[in-house]
């Protein structure tokens, strides 16, 4: 075989073994459903204008989907005879929200292009549009994911970060999904918006630790009693300074020991990620750029493509 032929065969082998994210494309629906993206954008904008907090919820929904079985909309499936819903996992139950918004978006998209646009892609696009709706960065969403016909309830218990996780655990968890420390810190910056329940930060504000500002803890205790079961669902903004704007104040808060969750504050606690937090606190443009890139990479985690999975008619049930 000649050298040219050898190179050609080698290239064929390389391309045939490239990861499946190579099959995703930003133009995937250009011919089959050209109004898909504008329809999703309008619906997300409406939902966020109705409730600002929904922006954070939609970004988180995409994140919790991708970390369990990949970005396949498995998190949207309800319990059935064949499905044990991920919605019931400890880190999702009474915590993850936005399901109704995605169902509404899917209904609108189905009305113009039945059976074409996957719920997994809707989650990815909605996360981007939610960021833009609150002044955050935009990015190009690669499309062509398909929807799972299974759920990963048991995986959800082990693959999702917990509010009490330490730095090593977080680095390991994100690393297992192919995400670097820097990408982990950037993605954590989505906590510049959104709220958390008292039950997730009660221990932190009552432990009198050296890693929390005393005044900040005192303020938070007003709405989060120390007794378990008392005010568990009371909400507090993850970013006390600008809770409804996508900016870099989250990182400034960490430097001042005002991270609400333990899993936030460990990013600036004398460890390997301190310098990344400091960098983002000084440069909002660097944070925005890195966040966008990390969201694209996260959206490429183990998608179902080609003939794998299905395109659900309803996001909450397999066909």
Which residue positions form the known binding site?
65, 68, 70, 72, 74, 86, 161, 191-192, 239, 242, 247
Distant-in-sequence, close-in-space partners of 303: CB < 8 Å, separation ≥ 6 = 20, 21, 23, 24, 70, 71, 72, 120, 144, 145, 146
Phi first, then psi: give them for residue 10, nearest 5 degrees: -60, -45
State yes or no: is 64 an active-site residue: yes
Which one of 53, 60, 64, 106 is the catalytic residue? Answer: 64
The alpha carbon dihedral of 64, 68, 70, 71 has a sign of: negative
What is the C-alpha to C-alpha distance for residues 33 and 24, in angstroms, rounded to an integer?
Answer: 16
For the chain, the distance separating the N- and C-terminal CA atoms, rounded to the nearest angstrom, is 49
What is the C-alpha to C-alpha distance for residues 113 and 33, in angstroms, rounded to an integer?
Answer: 6
What is the C-alpha to C-alpha distance for residues 223 and 244, in angstroms, rounded to an integer?
Answer: 19
Note whether 259 and 265 are within 8 A (CB).
yes
Distant-in-sequence, close-in-space partners of 42: CB < 8 Å, separation ≥ 6 = none
Residues contributing to the annotated binding site for Ca(2+): 65, 68, 70, 72, 74, 86, 192, 239, 242, 247
Note whether 222 and 88 are within 8 A (CB).
no
Distances 236 to 186, 209, 232, 302 between C-alpha atoms, Å? 21, 19, 11, 34
What is the C-alpha to C-alpha distance for residues 186 and 184, in angstroms, rounded to an integer?
Answer: 5
- Other CB atoms within a 10 A radius of the CB of residue 128 amount to 26
Residues contributing to the annotated binding site for substrate: 161
Q: What is the DSSP letter of 25?
A: B
- Which residues are known catalytic residues? 64
């Amino acid at each position: 075989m000649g050298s040219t032929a050898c190179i050609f065969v080698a290239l064929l082998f390389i391309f045939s073994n490239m990861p499946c994210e190579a099959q995703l494309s930003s133009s995937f629906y250009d011919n089959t459903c050209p109004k898909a993206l504008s329809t999703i954008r309008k619906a997300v904008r409406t939902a966020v204008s109705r409730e600002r907090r929904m922006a954070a919820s939609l970004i988180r929904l995409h994140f919790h989907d991708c970390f369990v079985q990949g970005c396949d909309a498995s998190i949207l499936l309800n319990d059935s005879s064949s499905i044990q819903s991920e919605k019931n996992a400890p880190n999702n139950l009474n915590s993850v929200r936005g399901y109704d918004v995605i169902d509404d978006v899917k209904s609108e998209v189905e009305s113009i292009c039945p059976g074409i646009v996957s719920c997994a892609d809707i989650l990815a696009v909605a996360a981007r549009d939610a960021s833009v709706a609150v002044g955050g960065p935009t990015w190009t969403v690669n499309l062509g994911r398909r929807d799972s016909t299974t759920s990963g309830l048991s995986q959800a218990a082990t693959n999702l970060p917990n509010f009490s996780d330490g730095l090593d655990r977080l680095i390991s968890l994100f690393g297992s999904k192919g995400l670097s420390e820097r990408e982990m810190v950037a993605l954590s910056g989505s906590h510049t918006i959104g709220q958390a329940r008292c039950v997730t930060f009660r221990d932190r504000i009552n432990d009198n630790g050296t890693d929390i500002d005393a005044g900040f803890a005192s303020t938070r205790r007003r709405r989060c009693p120390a007794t378990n079961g008392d005010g568990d669902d009371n909400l507090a903004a993850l970013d006390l300074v600008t809770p409804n704007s996508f900016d870099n104040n989250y990182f400034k808060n960490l430097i001042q020991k005002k991270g609400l969750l333990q899993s936030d504050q460990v990013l600036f606690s004398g460890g390997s990620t301190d310098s990344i937090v400091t960098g983002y606190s000084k440069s909002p443009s660097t944070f925005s750029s890195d966040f966008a890139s990390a969201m694209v990479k996260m959206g490429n985690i183990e998608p179902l493509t080609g003939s794998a999975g299905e395109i659900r008619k309803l996001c909450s049930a397999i066909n």
